[in-house]
A and B are shown apart, each in its own frame.
Chain A
C-alpha cells in the first residue's frame, strides 16, 4: 500500500464540475451593471510615426462614452525591468500591424466598432524590418531609439574551452536550423473587465478591481500601478478561470492595461475581449529562430564541444525576450554532459507582434536543432541514436559547466522506457518503406531559481485557515490556468493534514485575499507553491498535534493525523464511524468550549479531525499557518552576465520516440504514435501529469508538422484557428505517456515539473523519424507537405516546383515572406521608399 493517502492517486480536478457544466466563470463570463464594451483601434502599418489622432467624430457618436489614446496613459511598462518599452496605447509611433492606437468605450460592441471607423489617424510610414538578420544591420529608423541595430539584447557565453573541445573531436557537425514562429492560441481569447469604485472619503474614483485572463495576477497589479500611477494597495486583480495560457497570458497583454485606462476615462466598468485575430496580434509566442549549431564528438559519440549561435526574431517589443534568448543558451546544459559550450545569442527587434514566453520557453527551437544534429552525427558515425544519448548522460548530483545544479535525473530511465515500449531495437530499420522511428530528449526547469524582479521576496507563499467547522481554507496566489494548480495545492495540504480532500477549499489568485506569488509560468507552481503549501500545512499541523498531544497525554511527535482522524501512535483505532467520515461531529464544535472542555478533560487516545481542530483553536486561540518558498542559494546559478536565467531547483526530463510515415508523392507526414516518458519527480496526480505530458507532446506535434504564423509585409496571413491549423482530433496521433518518478530531494513529496518539458523533444523526434522513413533531413520546421516535398525532390535532383521555389528546408538560409492574395483591406500597406522589403523582397 502507498505511504500516501491523497497524493499519487488520479483524481478529477477540484474545479472539474464547473468546467463540464458551464457553471465555471471565465473573465468574459462576468458583467457588471452599467458596463461598457471596449474596442481597440489597431495600426494598419508595420512601422510608422503617428502625426495626428482626431477622435472628435468618434466622441460625438451617440453611445460612445470615452475614447482614449496613448496620451491618456503614457507611462512605459514591460514584463522585464530591463524592457519597459511598451505603453498602454501607442505614443507617437506604431511598431507592428495590430499595434494599439486608441480605445473606444461604448454602450455596445456595435457602437464601439462604428466609433473606431470615425477615428482619424495620420501616419507617416517608416521603413519596416521583418527579417531579423536584415534588421540587425539597421542604423537608422530604429524600432526603439535606445536599441542600436535593432538588437534588443545579445549574449556571448563561453564555458570550458570550446576550441580545445573541437580540436579533440573526431567529427564535427555543423548546420543551420530554422524553426518558424508559432503561438499559443489558447482557446479562451484574452479578456479583461476593469471597474473603479468611488472612494467614500474623497468622493472620487478610488480602488480599481480587475478581472482578467492572466497567468500572473501580481505582475498585472504591479504594472497597472505603474501605468495608472495608483498604489498597488488600491488595485485588486482577480483571476477567474483561465481558458488556457501556455505562456500567452504570462505577461501583461495590452488590453489588460487599456481596459483600466478606458474605465478610468469612462467612469464606468469597461470590458474588453479580444477577437481571435486580435489574439494573434497580441501573440507573445515562440519567435522564429535561426540556429547555427556546431557539435564536436568523439567516434564513440561522446560530445566534446558545442557552439551555438541563435538569432531570435523577437517582434516589436522586448516582452520576455531577454529571458528567452538566455534560456536558449543556458538550457544547452543540464540535459547531457557537455564539457565545453560557446553560445552567441541575439534577440532582435522586427516590426511584427512581440514574441514572448511560450511553453518550453526558449528551449524548444534550440532543442530541435540539437537533437536533430545528434541524430545526424549518429547516422554519420553509425551509432544507435538512443545509445548516443546514453553515452552523454550527466552523472548527478552535479553542477554543469554553465552553472546549473542537477540533483534528480530520470533521463536514463526515460530513454530505457521509450526504447522498450516502442520496440526501438527490434523495429527500427524493419518498417515498411516511408515509415520510420525517431528518438529525442528534452528537459525543462521546475521554476526559475531567480525571479525576474530581483528581490529577497519568497517566490511563493501560502496561507491556511482552519475554523471550527473543520473546513480547511487555503489561500494561494498560484494561478490555476487549467494545469491543476488548485488541485495540486489541495492535495498537498490534505496529505500533510491527513484530512479528506473534500474538506479543503482553495481560494486562489485574488490579490486582496491571497499572499503574493509570482504566477504560473516556467513550470514553477508544483515545485514552489507546492513547497509553500506543504510548509503552511506543516505549521498548522504542528499546532493541531501540540493541542491534541495535551489531550492524549503524549508528545506531539506521537500524534498521527491521517484519514480525517487524529490518534496517538500505536493505539488500536476503532473502525471509523460514519459521523467522523462524513465530517459531521455532533454539533459541539460551534457550541464552544464550555461543553467541549468537559468532554475534553478526559484523556483520549483518538479523536476526529474536527475535535482536534477545536482543541487546537481553544488552545492556541486560532488556527492559521503560513508557508513560503524561495529556491536555495546553491541552485541559483553562476556569476556570469545572464547567469540568472536557466538555474532551477530541479529539472524535468523527457525522452520520446515518434513513429511517422511520409507520403513521397504528396509530402504529407503522418505521425502515428509517440511514446513519451517524462520524469516529473513524483506524480502527485497521475492523470493530471499524463494530461500535461500528452498536451505538451501534442503541442510539439503541432509545431512540428503544421502550425506556423505566416507573414506578408508584417501582416499575419493566417490569423484564425483553422488557417493557423491547430490540430484537430482527426490529425492527432496516439500519445503513450510513461511517468518516470525520480523523487527529487527538494520537490514537494519529490515532485518536479510536468507541463512543459516534454514539448521540445517532440519536434526533433518527428524530424528524426522522417529521416529514418525517407532519408531527408529537414532543418526547417514545421515539416509541411511543401517542405517535405521540396526536400524529397531536392534529394533526387528533381526540378523545384513553384510552391517550393527558393526554399530548401534541408538548408534554410534566411527569412522569406510568404506570397498571398490577401493584402490589408485590399490595398496592401503603403511602404516607405527606403523599405528594404520593398525593393526586391525580404532577402
Chain B
C-alpha cells in the first residue's frame, strides 16, 4: 500500500508524516514517532493502555486510523508533564502505589487527566466509573483511588474548586 502525506497535531506540535491510509494511530505514534509511552495491551480496544486524548477526550489509539485525525489536537502521555516535571497525578501514582509494573499507567494518566479536567470533585463512584475504561492487572485499583483522592485534596486545599476549574485547561 502506498503511503500518503498527512499532518497531525501531537502534543502541541504539527508533524508531517507519510503513512499508509490504514495505519493505526498507535502504530504511527510508537513506530514512526518513537512516542512509545502509549502501549498496546490487547488487539481489540479492551484494555485502555493505548489511551490518548483527542481534543481532550480519551480515545483508544489502537483502533483509530491516524489519517482520520488530521486537524485534531492529539495528546499522548509524553505531552502531559508539568513543565518537564511530574504532573500531580503522575507524582501521586508513584507515591501511593497507583502503578506497579506501569504498563497500564500511561493509559490511566490520560483517563485521570480527563476526569480531573471535567469533574474536579468526582465522587468515589465517579472515579471508579471513569477508571473502568482502563484495565490494570497489578494493583486492584485501590491505590489508584487513593492517589487520585490525594491529588484532588491537594488541589482543593490550595485554591477553591471553581478556581481550579478555571485555571486548568
Task: Tell me if B140 and A695 are in contact (CB < 8 A).
Answer: yes
Task: Tell me if B101 and A729 are in contact (CB < 8 A).
Answer: no
Can you spell out 8 A-B residue pairs with CB atoms less than 8 angstroms apart? A20-B93, A20-B102, A25-B36, A29-B36, A188-B103, A189-B40, A245-B101, A277-B43
Task: Tell me if B78 and A22 are in contact (CB < 8 A).
Answer: yes
Minimum CB–CB distance from B8 to chain A (whole Å) comes to: 17
CB closest residue in chain A, given B44: A720
Interface of B is mostly: loop
The complex places the Cα of A721 from the Cα of B49 at a distance, in Å, of 12
The complex places the Cα of A276 from the Cα of B43 at a distance, in Å, of 6
Task: Tell me if A694 and B140 are in contact (CB < 8 A).
Answer: yes
Neighbouring A residues of B131 by C-beta, 8 Å: 728-729
Task: Tell me if A28 and B40 are in contact (CB < 8 A).
Answer: yes
Given contacts A17-B90, A243-B103, A186 and B137 within 8 Å (CB-CB): yes
Given contacts A275-B43, A722-B44, A729-B128, A187 and B104 within 8 Å (CB-CB): yes
The complex places the Cα of A143 from the Cα of B81 at a distance, in Å, of 54
Given contacts A19-B105, A189-B40, A244 and B93 within 8 Å (CB-CB): no
Partner of B102 from A110, A184, A482, A728 at Cβ < 8 Å: A482
Determine if A36 is an interface residue (Cβ-Cβ < 8 Å).
no
CB contact list, B122-169 vs A, under 8 A:
127-129, 131-132, 134-144
Task: Tell me if B140 and A697 are in contact (CB < 8 A).
Answer: yes
Given contacts A22-B106, A276-B44, A720-B44, A698 and B140 within 8 Å (CB-CB): yes
Partner of B137 from A17, A699, A731 at Cβ < 8 Å: A699
Determine if A13 is an interface residue (Cβ-Cβ < 8 Å).
yes
Task: Tell me if A242 and B137 are in contact (CB < 8 A).
Answer: no
The complex places the Cα of A730 from the Cα of B86 at a distance, in Å, of 27
Minimum CB–CB distance from A488 to chain B (whole Å) comes to: 13
Given contacts A12-B94, A18-B102, A19-B99, A243 and B142 within 8 Å (CB-CB): no
Determine if B109 is an interface residue (Cβ-Cβ < 8 Å).
yes
Task: Tell me if A22 and B36 are in contact (CB < 8 A).
Answer: yes
CB contact list, A4-32 vs B, under 8 A:
10, 12-13, 15-26, 28-29, 31
Task: Tell me if B101 and A186 are in contact (CB < 8 A).
Answer: yes
Determine if A687 is an interface residue (Cβ-Cβ < 8 Å).
yes
Q: Show the binding face of A for B, using Cβ within 8 Å.
A: 10, 12-13, 15-26, 28-29, 31, 110, 184-189, 241-246, 273, 275-277, 481-484, 687-688, 690-691, 694-695, 697-699, 701, 720-722, 726, 728-732, 734-735
- Nearest 3 pairs between A and B by C-beta? A22-B37, A482-B101, A19-B102
Minimum CB–CB distance from B33 to chain A (whole Å) comes to: 12
Task: Tell me if A687 and B97 are in contact (CB < 8 A).
Answer: yes
Determine if B100 is an interface residue (Cβ-Cβ < 8 Å).
yes
Neighbouring B residues of A722 by C-beta, 8 Å: 44, 46
Minimum CB–CB distance from B43 to chain A (whole Å) comes to: 5
Determine if B96 is an interface residue (Cβ-Cβ < 8 Å).
yes
Given contacts A246-B137, A728-B135, A21 and B100 within 8 Å (CB-CB): no
Determine if B28 is an interface residue (Cβ-Cβ < 8 Å).
no
Task: Tell me if B49 and A187 are in contact (CB < 8 A).
Answer: yes
The complex places the Cα of A730 from the Cα of B41 at a distance, in Å, of 19
Given contacts A20-B105, A244-B103, A691 and B36 within 8 Å (CB-CB): no
The complex places the Cα of A25 from the Cα of B142 at a distance, in Å, of 25
Neighbouring A residues of B30 by C-beta, 8 Å: 29
CB closest residue in chain A, given B38: A22
Task: Tell me if A735 and B42 are in contact (CB < 8 A).
Answer: no
Task: Tell me if B136 and A187 are in contact (CB < 8 A).
Answer: yes
Task: Tell me if B138 and A482 are in contact (CB < 8 A).
Answer: yes
Given contacts A13-B94, A26-B39, A720-B42, A730 and B135 within 8 Å (CB-CB): no
Q: Residues of B within 8 Å of A, CB-based: how many?
A: 54
Minimum CB–CB distance from A11 to chain B (whole Å) comes to: 8
Of the listed residues B42, B89, B93, B96, the one surrounded by the most CB atoms of chain A closer than 10 A to its CB is B42
Partner of A730 from B104, B106, B132 at Cβ < 8 Å: B132
Minimum CB–CB distance from A346 to chain B (whole Å) comes to: 30
Neighbouring A residues of B141 by C-beta, 8 Å: 698, 729, 732
Given contacts A22-B76, A276-B44, A16 and B36 within 8 Å (CB-CB): no
The complex places the Cα of A729 from the Cα of B48 at a distance, in Å, of 12
* Other A-B pairs beyond A244-B101, A694-B139, 18, CB < 8 Å: A16-B93, A16-B95, A20-B89, A20-B90, A20-B99, A21-B37, A22-B35, A22-B36, A22-B77, A28-B36, A186-B103, A187-B47, A188-B103, A244-B103, A276-B44, A687-B96, A694-B143, A730-B128
Neighbouring B residues of A273 by C-beta, 8 Å: 40
Of the listed residues A186, A694, A695, A729, the one surrounded by the most CB atoms of chain B closer than 10 A to its CB is A729
Neighbouring A residues of B134 by C-beta, 8 Å: 728-729
Task: Tell me if B41 and A187 are in contact (CB < 8 A).
Answer: yes
Task: Tell me if A735 and B101 are in contact (CB < 8 A).
Answer: no
Task: Tell me if B101 and A12 are in contact (CB < 8 A).
Answer: no
Given contacts A244-B137, A726-B135, A729-B131, A695 and B100 within 8 Å (CB-CB): yes
Minimum CB–CB distance from A797 to chain B (whole Å) comes to: 39
Per-residue contact bits, chain B 51-82, to A (CB 8 Å; 1 contact, 0 not): 00000000000000000000000001110010
Task: Tell me if A188 and B39 are in contact (CB < 8 A).
Answer: yes
CB closest residue in chain A, given B110: A22
Given contacts A15-B102, A21-B81, A735-B142, A730 and B129 within 8 Å (CB-CB): yes
Task: Tell me if B41 and A188 are in contact (CB < 8 A).
Answer: yes
CB closest residue in chain B, given A687: B97
Minimum CB–CB distance from A432 to chain B (whole Å) comes to: 21
The complex places the Cα of A241 from the Cα of B37 at a distance, in Å, of 12
Neighbouring B residues of A732 by C-beta, 8 Å: 128, 140-142
The complex places the Cα of A275 from the Cα of B142 at a distance, in Å, of 28
Given contacts A22-B37, A243-B39, A277-B43, A691 and B139 within 8 Å (CB-CB): yes
The complex places the Cα of A21 from the Cα of B79 at a distance, in Å, of 9
Minimum CB–CB distance from A189 to chain B (whole Å) comes to: 7
Neighbouring B residues of A721 by C-beta, 8 Å: 41-42, 46-47, 135
Task: Tell me if B97 and A690 are in contact (CB < 8 A).
Answer: yes
Minimum CB–CB distance from B87 to chain A (whole Å) comes to: 8
Minimum CB–CB distance from B60 to chain A (whole Å) comes to: 13
Minimum CB–CB distance from B126 to chain A (whole Å) comes to: 11
CB closest residue in chain B, given A275: B43
